[in-house]
Structure 1
Amino acid sequence: MSDHFIVMAKRGRMVMLTIFSLVFVALGIIILLVPFNEPVLPTVIGILAILVFGLCFLYYVKALAKREPAVMITKEGIIDNSSYIRAGLVKWEEIEAIDFLNFSGQVFLGIFTYDSELIINRSSGIKRVFNRLNKGLLPSQVNIPFKNLDCSAEELMNAIGERWDTALKEESKKE
């Protein structure tokens, strides 16, 4: 077993998400340009679409240019760099459970931590807001969209299981 199991993001999916983000930014601009009788709600929707999908677009362009691993399974824990609100390193001793979760027809690798506020407390600014919103959608603290990962569920769970077991054994030796 090597020290790191590296999972890259699916390049084709990243390109598709970049294009979708750009389309929604364009729709937000169109909404702002169309005259409405009651302009308040369309203006808010247009601005939110531009801001949210603009951030998504920038994130995906940067991710495509940098081409870094989306997820790394190491002897220290799981490093999540799969999205804008990435959790970073979640240490094995912070993890209570790991499971696949379904939400809105999408499968996520859900990481449950002992501290339900762990990821929120580590983040700041807009990432903190997004992590708080994310917490309201799924019960796990870290949610990695599995469709974006370029590996099978079996490979991923085997890598997690091997390294988690090793970390638990090393921890019990220290005690």
Structure 2
Amino acid sequence: MDYPYLIQRSKKKSYLAILACLLFVGLGVFTLALDTNGTGSAMIMTVIGWLNIILFTLGAVFFASRLRKKQLPLEITDEGIRDNSSFITPGLTRWEDIKGFRFKKAIPQSVILIDVHDPEAYVQKVDHPTLRANMRHNVKTLGSPAIINTTAIDVSPRKLFELLQEELKFQQTLRSSPGITLPELLRQRDELFR
């Protein structure tokens, strides 16, 4: 693998994500239009309808804005992983800070969690207080401040997960084996990726 390894955005997946968001917005509008005859569930249906409309409109705007940007969703370099795949991101996660990766399959998307030694240090890297609070929430609920959103990338989530695990193994070997030459390590890595 040559650095930087650039993971491209999948336009097809992005358009499908926008379409799914718009369908949920429509569902929210439909929910608001339901006549519940003043029953106790009317308030719940109204809240659900508005939440659908607000959250999925934001989702559609997010995916549409990412389509227009030339910025790649993910870059793997010799320094670490630069993640631009989601709205809440710590930017560059350095190899020396990474403990490992976890794959979490969720509906409607799969994510890759990057476990770091000091999550709070990555939370503090985020300037905006709301985004910082969301990242802190991710640490409490998922155990990680760095989450790669695989929804709109042009690589299968499983393949990306395996690639990241092998690259982390290589980087850890590189840092912990001063007696092994770089050409030998590169040969070992090339064998891993065959």
TM-score by length of 2: 0.70
Alpha-carbon distance, 1:69 to partner: 1.4
Kept after mapping to 1: 8 A contact 2:21/2:60: yes
Kept after mapping to 1: 8 A contact 2:95/2:168: no
Q: Which position in structure 2 is the counterpart of 1:101? A: 103
Kept after mapping to 2: 8 A contact 1:118/1:141: no
Q: Which position in structure 1 is the counterpart of 2:31? A: 31
Letter in 1 for 2:18: T
| Structure 2 unpaired stretches of 5+ | 179-194
Q: Which position in structure 1 is the counterpart of 2:91? A: 88
Kept after mapping to 1: 8 A contact 2:17/2:151: no
Q: Secondary structure at the match of 1:110?
A: strand
Task: State the identity as a percent.
Answer: 27
The 10-residue stretch of structure 1 (15-24 or 132-141) with the greater mean CA deviation from structure 2 = 132-141
| Structure 1 unpaired stretches of 5+ | none
**Is the alpha carbon distance of 1:49 and 1:125 closer, same or farther for their aligned partners in structure 2, counting shifts above 3 Å?**
farther
| 1:105-124 correspondence to structure 2 within 5 Å | 107-123=110-126, 124=128
Cα deviation, 1:110-163, whole Å, max 9, x if unaligned, reads 211112333433333443343244334423332224464323334444444445
Q: Which position in structure 2 is the counterpart of 1:15? A: 15
Aligned-pair Cα RMSD in Å: 2.9
**Is the alpha carbon distance of 1:75 and 1:165 closer, same or farther for their aligned partners in structure 2, counting shifts above 3 Å?**
farther
Q: Which position in structure 2 is the counterpart of 1:62? A: 65
Equivalenced residue count is 169
TM-score by length of 1: 0.77
**Is the alpha carbon distance of 1:130 and 1:113 closer, same or farther for their aligned partners in structure 2, counting shifts above 3 Å?**
same
**Is the alpha carbon distance of 1:103 and 1:119 closer, same or farther for their aligned partners in structure 2, counting shifts above 3 Å?**
farther
Kept after mapping to 2: 8 A contact 1:75/1:164: no
Alpha-carbon distance, 1:52 to partner: 1.4
Q: Which position in structure 1 is the counterpart of 2:190? A: none
Structure number with greater Rg is 2
Alpha-carbon distance, 1:92 to partner: 2.5
Q: Which position in structure 2 is the counterpart of 1:75? A: 78
The 10-residue stretch of structure 1 (157-166 or 120-129) with the greater mean CA deviation from structure 2 = 157-166
Kept after mapping to 2: 8 A contact 1:8/1:68: no
Kept after mapping to 2: 8 A contact 1:107/1:146: yes
Cα deviation, 1:7-33, whole Å, max 9, x if unaligned, reads 123322211111111111222233233
Q: Which position in structure 2 is the counterpart of 1:135? A: 139
